Structure 1
Amino acid sequence: MSEAKFNKAAEIIQSLPKDGPIKPTQDDQLYFYSHFKQATIGDVNTPRPGLLDFVGKAKWDAWKKLEGVSKEEARKEYVNKLVEVLKTADDADAKKFLEELEAIA
């Protein structure tokens, strides 16, 4: 998976409006978060958040599960998941985003 395709996928995900037609589930959002972190940083490099930080713990735990996964594999899985989400949405924006991704080698 090229870094350019991964970067485009990240750009698409970050640009999705919260109330738009393409709505990744909470599980999808955790998946994107953890794979983005693994692809850009590698294995978890911070302590687990405290007891009352439920969102922080969920994010940290999702990232921790990817320990040992290569940055390349994390990039590939990130893009593949976005393609899956876009195909499920099946609207004009999703089709446009898919075309943009496919245009990158």
Structure 2
Amino acid sequence: MSAANFEKAVAVVQGMPKDGPVQPTQAEQLKFYGLYKQANVGDVNTSRPGMMDFTGKAKWDAWKKEEGKSQEDAKKDYVEALLAVLNNHADDEQAQAWIKEITA
């Protein structure tokens, strides 16, 4: 899996329409977030957000789950996770186009 595949996958995730046919679950979105942070920053380097910051804690926890993973492995896992989501919507034309774009 190349860095270009990862960059394409990130662009697809960030560009997915909120009301489009492919809707990653909240758990899948957190997985993408954790892998993205691990791929770009490395291990968690901040303290866990406060008690009332529910979103921040969920994101921090998702990133923490990826701790110890190399940045290359995180990039590979990100692409594989996105392809798994897209393959669940393989009957959708947009999902098929994204799969081709990412794997090209």
| 3-state SS of paired residue (1:28) | helix
- Corresponding residue for residue 101 of structure 1: 102
Gaps of 5+ in 2: none
Structure 1 unaligned blocks of 5 or more = none
4+ long deviations beyond 6 Å: none
Matched length: 103
- Following superposition, the deviation at residue 30 of structure 1 comes to 0.3
Q: Give the partner amino acid of 2:78.
A: Y
* 1:42 corresponds to 2:58: no
Look up the equivalent residue of 1:42 and give its one-letter code: G
How far apart are residue 89 of structure 1 and its match? 1.3
Aligned residue for 2:5, secondary structure, equals helix
AA partner of residue 65 (structure 2): K
- CA deviation after TM superposition for structure 1 residue 46, in Å: 1.0
Provide the TM-score with structure 1 as the length reference: 0.96
| Partner in structure 1 of residue 63 of structure 2 | 63
Shift of 1:36: 0.2
- Provide the rounded CA distance (Å) in 2 between the counterparts of 1:65 and 1:94: 27
**1:27 match:** 27
Displacement after TM superposition at 1:50 (Å):
0.5
Q: Give the Cα separation in 1 of the matches to 2:55 and 2:11.
A: 22
Other structure's SS at 1:72 match: helix
Cα deviation, residue 47, structure 1: 1.1
CA distance in 1 between partners of 2:21 and 2:85 (Å): 11
Tell me which residue corresponds to 1:12: 12
Once residues 64 and 71 of structure 1 are traced to their aligned partners in structure 2, the CA distance between those partners, rounded to angstroms, is: 14
Separation in 1, partners of 2:44, 2:101: 31
The Cα of 1:67 is off from its aligned counterpart by 1.1
AA aligned to 2:97 is: K
Identical columns (%): 55
